[in-house]
Amino acid sequence: MSPELHQPIARRESGEDPYRWLEQRDTPEVIQHLQVENEHTDAWMAPHAELREQLFQEIRGRIRETDLGLPSPKGTWLYYQRTEAGAEYPRYYRCRRPADQSLHIDTSTEQLLLDLNQLAENEDFLELGDFSVSPDQHWLAYSLDTQGNEVYQLYVRSLLNDEIYSLPLENAGGNLCWANDNRTLFAISLDDSARPAHLWRLRRDEEPVRVFDEPDALFYLSVYRSSSEHFICVSSSSKNTGEVHFLPADQPEAPLECLAARQTGHEYDADHGEQGFIIRSNSAGENFGLYRCDPATPGQSNWQLLCPADPAHTLEDVEVQRDALILQYRCDGLCRLDVLPVGADAYQVQMPDAAYSLHVQSGEEYQSPQVRLRYESLNRPAEIRALNLKSGEQTVLKQTPVEGPFDPEAYRVERLWAIADDGARIPVSLIERSDASGSGPLYLYGYGAYGASMDPWFSHARLSLLDRGWRFAIAHVRGGAEMGEYWYQQGKLEHKGNTFSDFIRCAEQLIEQGKTDPGHLVIAGGSAGGLLIGNVINQRPELFRAAVADVPFVDVWNTMNNPELPLTIGEYEEWGDPNEPEVAARIKGYAPYENVSAKAYPALFVTAGYHDVRVQYWEAAKWVARLRATRSNQAPLLLRTQMSAGHGGASGRYQAMRDIAEEYTFLLTVCSV
């Protein structure tokens, strides 16, 4: 192995950070360093190539490679996608809608709209941003990212003669929104820090017209059509404040009006339906209440209360249909849907499992008498259900297949509760084989940031671990919102330490309950979840056999002190402003990179994306370099940098399967020693 790998170069001439030289993107020595690390990972994996290929084939064998997506009706057409064996990406189609209004595909009228496989032929990376059909269904607008840096090229295609137009907007985000004239699009561009900051009005063969700017570096901009399709809405939002502007979709050149001027700490979002604007707001309680407002008289003083904030449950989202409102609440770590039909009694949607994921999924028209629900649990693959809004009756429209032998009843799902240091009850979702007994390998996943709820999800790949006697668990730690808004607030800023201590307590209590032991406990997290992993292995390295950190946010101290980096300033509301001495001390106290020390660390598998704008590649590279130079043991320490990818990893589905197979190969190998 190269000397660079065993003795990473530490330079202090640029300041106190000895590995800051790795931040010099595109320089030969940085590229060489990343290549050497990848070669080291390849060399470590080489003796286990047979296991890796076996895992890949297992995962691939459970996927229905040729499949048809559930069609979505839009006027006289059905829109859907197909995946085909051997193809990395789906193809997008439409066909004429049957006279009986069924979802039957009429291949005689089928039209290919977009073939991502063809577009990806000369690209190492391809991601589809938006896919938006004009109201008259004569035009398709779409956006493509070919680097993984979340900068998109915008296109419009005629669905009548197949002509394709490239829209000349530099530094475009992926967001696209049609006005009702079928010729005007609204799009967002990024500022120099990669923040969505500028709203543009676009038309074919015309220069873009800038409509709105968001100057505050804390705020991100987005644009969308209201559910009723009557309005174009522009949302400016920071981590704790919201503001919505709107204009009539029939009048794309009309001036924007403000629904309610921003006030620090007032979070709100809005959609439009039969009752006017429907607004979710925390103005009268942190768990959010529901309001309505006539578009003719905007302003918070004109809002009318529909549902007050519930002190016990957080209102997370609202789906607006012509015939009903669907309210999504967070209750005891699970999602609950309440339906408020027009002219009928409200009711709660019932679900069968102890731990599950549930949300309203797009695919039905605004005036449809039903909505689609996506439901899955740790042992049940996702299914799309139609919910009749009036009766509450549910019908399964499509189930995600699992090819080969599979019985959901062969696996047991539990909701466990760990007790935090301060007495808080932390939900833990766990799956194991129904015949499991005694202690064994356990894969514990955590995130705990931004109010993101890690609801239980099904994984075809995970079956390869479960069927080898492993358990899988999710620690729903503070910083997420699984237990409501309060749960999020208790895991950010000055309370960030709760995220880490909660995770450690979950690990300890899984050991105490006999589910695993330190010699077989594996932990994993990505992005801000990688910060969690980096922190807890600094605190309690002896508690874990191995760890996986995907695109980890481990260099939080240096990143938060560099406001020129993409998205940094907007993060102050999550982590704090390091220019304040108390905040600086707190961040330095938990930052994984800053707190690496001479101790025996668990085996570690780390990934990075070279074009990642959310967590720069060097965070992982610097962390691994410091670990190599500082730790007191020689457990496997691997860094895999995807040189043609961003924050989300590889874009093709087969490459994504190979990446999972590589991770599982690492875990199965180090846990068998």
Task: Read off the pLDDT of residues 157-195 as tens digits, 9 standing for 90 and up.
Answer: 999 999 999 999 999 999 999 999 999 999 999 999 999
Percentage of residues in the chain having pLDDT higher than 70: 98
Q: How many CB atoms lie within 10 A of CB 352?
A: 8
CA dihedral 295, 298, 301, 305 (to 10 degrees): 30
- What's 406-656's CATH class? alpha beta
| H/E segment holding residue 291 | strand 289-293
Task: Check residues 650 and 371 and name the one with the higher pLDDT.
Answer: 371
Q: Tell me which residue of 315, 312, 322, 307 sits closest to 336, measured CA to CA.
A: 315
Q: How many CB atoms lie within 10 A of CB 330?
A: 24
CA dihedral 180, 202, 73, 393 (to 10 degrees): -80
Supply 547's token pair: 């760890």
Q: How many CB atoms lie within 10 A of CB 651?
A: 24
Domain ranges of the chain: 65-122, 124-360, 406-656
Per-residue model confidence as pLDDT tens digits over 497-527? 999 999 999 999 999 999 999 999 999 999 9
Q: Band of the pLDDT at 1, cuts 50, 70, 90?
A: very low
Kindly provide the residue ranges of all beta strands, DSSP E only, lying in 541-625, ordered along the sequence: 546-550, 603-609
Per-residue model confidence as pLDDT tens digits over 24-54? 999 999 999 999 999 999 999 999 999 999 9
Whether the per-residue pLDDT at 459 is higher than 50: the answer is yes
Tell me what the pLDDT averaged over the chain comes to: 95
3-state secondary structure 225-266: ECCCCCEEEEEEECCCCEEEEEEECCCCCCCCEECCCCCCCC
Whether the per-residue pLDDT at 3 is higher than 50: the answer is no
Beta bridge partners, 321, equal 324
Q: How many CB atoms lie within 10 A of CB 319?
A: 20
pLDDT at 270: 98
- CB of 50 within 8 A of CB of 42? no
pLDDT at 12: 60
pLDDT at 332: 84
Beta bridge partners, 155, equal 142, 166
pLDDT at 329: 97
CA gap 6, 512 in Å, rounded:
37
Sign of the CA dihedral with 490 first, then 494, 500, and 501 last: negative
Judge residue 141's burial from the number of C-beta atoms within 10 Å of its C-beta, 0-12 exposed, 13-18 middle, 19 or more buried: buried
pLDDT at 131: 97
Instruction: Tell me the CA distances in angstroms from 247 to 211, 232, 391, one per residue in order.
Output: 11, 5, 35
- CB of 499 within 8 A of CB of 532? yes
- CB of 358 within 8 A of CB of 352? no
Q: Band of the pLDDT at 539, cuts 50, 70, 90?
A: very high
Q: Tell me which residue of 93, 218, 222, 77 sits closest to 135, measured CA to CA.
A: 77
Kindly provide the residue ranges of all beta strands, DSSP E only, lying in 572-628, ordered along the sequence: 603-609
Contacts of 503 (CB under 8 A, 6+ apart): 444, 446, 448, 475, 477, 523, 532, 536
Interval 346-367 mean pLDDT: 91
* The CATH number fitting domain 124-360, selected from 2.130.10.120, 3.40.50.1820, 3.30.390.50, 1.10.540.10: 2.130.10.120
- CB of 358 within 8 A of CB of 375? yes
Task: Check residues 652 and 299 and name the one with the higher pLDDT.
Answer: 299
> pTM value?
0.95
Catalytically active residues, by annotation: 527, 612, 647
pLDDT at 4: 44
Per-residue model confidence as pLDDT tens digits over 114-128? 999 999 999 999 999
Kindly provide the residue ranges of all beta strands, DSSP E only, lying in 476-534, ordered along the sequence: 521-526
Whether the per-residue pLDDT at 13 is higher than 60: the answer is no
Least confident of 3-12, 405-414, 470-479: 3-12
